[in-house]
Homo-oligomer: A and B are copies of this chain.
Amino acid sequence: MSVLKGIIPPMITPLKGNDELDREGTVRLVEHIINGGVHALFLLGTTGEAQSLTYRLRYEFVELVCRQVNGRVPVLVGITDTCIDESIRLAEHAKANGAVGVVAAAPYYFAPSQQELIEYYTALADALPLPLYLYNMPSHVKVFLEPSTVKVLAEHPNIIGLKDSSANMNYFETLMYTLGDRDDFALYVGPEELTGECVLMGADGGINGGANMFPSLYVEMYDAAERHDIDRVRELQRIIMQISTTFYTVGKYGSSYLKGVKCALSLMGICDDYLAYPYRKFRHEERERIRKALEAVESKIK
């Protein structure tokens, strides 16, 4: 079986309130992203604020998006949780609605040892009704999925890939060296700033938050890297870095990235920019800075 390749946007979750979905915004966002030519969708990741949402809302969101996508692209669903039973239950809901895979970072309250991670992921993959992608996210879950741990887990028939959001390229190169030759195990990079070089070096794609706003830009980057067009990769990289350094750096928040994406989507008329607690959306002055950053990027993308 060959792996899913390309750009898989980690969808934001459009909200009207802390427990109220922006349903119209969700529909518009799905259409906006799919029109950009992306290869799949990933719901309820970090960018999707999954952990800040009630299960009720998460279930509603999976249902709504899957219905709207209606099979046009594969859908992956984040099931990261501190409670293994809740992960499994959400995966069953995802499967019932047509998702093709699930994604799970490590449990993030306790910090498990590597041996405990192996036992945890094995038990999880055994119980899941859908194939599992590992998700390395040390800044949020406090532990790395060490290469030796990934190597063991990659032998499990129901574990079929990994997304790395560490930005530590030594780590990702080690995974590509160890597992990159396998046609049945996918390696995706999280930070969009790295998609160009990772695909050049052999990665299968990018799970890039900026693709909520500019899906075709990241698809173009993926294509340029796939055909080894370095000049084009560098041109596109300048735009992606412009987004990175202007959209994601407003305010002194660890949350600047997420606030920037939601604010820009609101300015683009796609969906509400409400953020669930503990985050709050950008206000006047910050919103103006995003507006200017948006205009500057749109003038380059056309």
The answer to whether residues A252 and B113 also contact, given A83-B52, A120-B278, A245-B178 and a CB cut-off of 8 A, is yes
Residue in A119, A167, A173 whose Cβ sees the most chain B Cβ within 10 Å: A173
Task: Report if A27 contacts B (CB, 8 A).
Answer: no
Which of the segments A197-205, A207-215, A287-295 contacts the partner chain? A197-205
Task: Report if A60 contacts B (CB, 8 A).
Answer: no
Residues A1-37 near B (CB distance < 8 A): 18-19
Identity of the chain B residue whose Cβ is nearest the Cβ of A177 in the assembled complex = B241
Task: Report if A59 contacts B (CB, 8 A).
Answer: no
CA of A278 to CA of B107, assembled, Å = 7
| Copies of this chain present | 4
Q: Give the Cβ gap from A18 to chain B, nearest Cβ, in Å.
A: 6
Q: What residues of B have a CB within 8 angstroms of the CB of A174 in the complex?
A: 193, 241, 244-245
Residue contact A277 to B53, C-beta cutoff 8 Å? no
Which of the segments A61-69, A91-99, A230-238, A260-268 contacts the partner chain? A230-238
Identity of the chain B residue whose Cβ is nearest the Cβ of A172 in the assembled complex = B169
Residue contact A116 to B253, C-beta cutoff 8 Å? yes
Residue contact B140 to A169, C-beta cutoff 8 Å? no
Q: What residues of B have a CB within 8 angstroms of the CB of A252 in the complex?
A: 113
The answer to whether residues A140 and B253 also contact, given A116-B278, A201-B196, A245-B174 and a CB cut-off of 8 A, is no
Residue contact B142 to A169, C-beta cutoff 8 Å? no
Q: What residues of B have a CB within 8 angstroms of the CB of A242 in the complex?
A: 177
Contact of A234 among B202, B241, B245 (CB under 8 A): B202
CA of A174 to CA of B245, assembled, Å = 7
Task: Report if A228 contacts B (CB, 8 A).
Answer: yes
CA of A178 to CA of B219, assembled, Å = 24
Contact of A54 among B86, B167, B233, B244 (CB under 8 A): B86
Residue contact A107 to B277, C-beta cutoff 8 Å? yes
Q: What residues of B have a CB within 8 angstroms of the CB of A196 in the complex?
A: 201
CA of A140 to CA of B167, assembled, Å = 19
Identity of the chain B residue whose Cβ is nearest the Cβ of A198 in the assembled complex = B197
Identity of the chain B residue whose Cβ is nearest the Cβ of A255 in the assembled complex = B110
A sample of 11 inter-chain contacts (CB < 8 A) reads A52-B109, A54-B85, A109-B140, A117-B278, A167-B171, A168-B168, A170-B193, A170-B194, A200-B233, A201-B233, A201-B237
Q: Which 4 A-B pairs have the closest CB atoms?
A: A177-B241, A51-B109, A51-B82, A197-B197
Q: Add 12 more A-B contacts to A109-B140, A168-B169 (CB < 8 A).
A: A52-B110, A84-B276, A106-B278, A110-B254, A113-B253, A119-B277, A169-B197, A173-B237, A174-B193, A174-B241, A174-B245, A197-B200
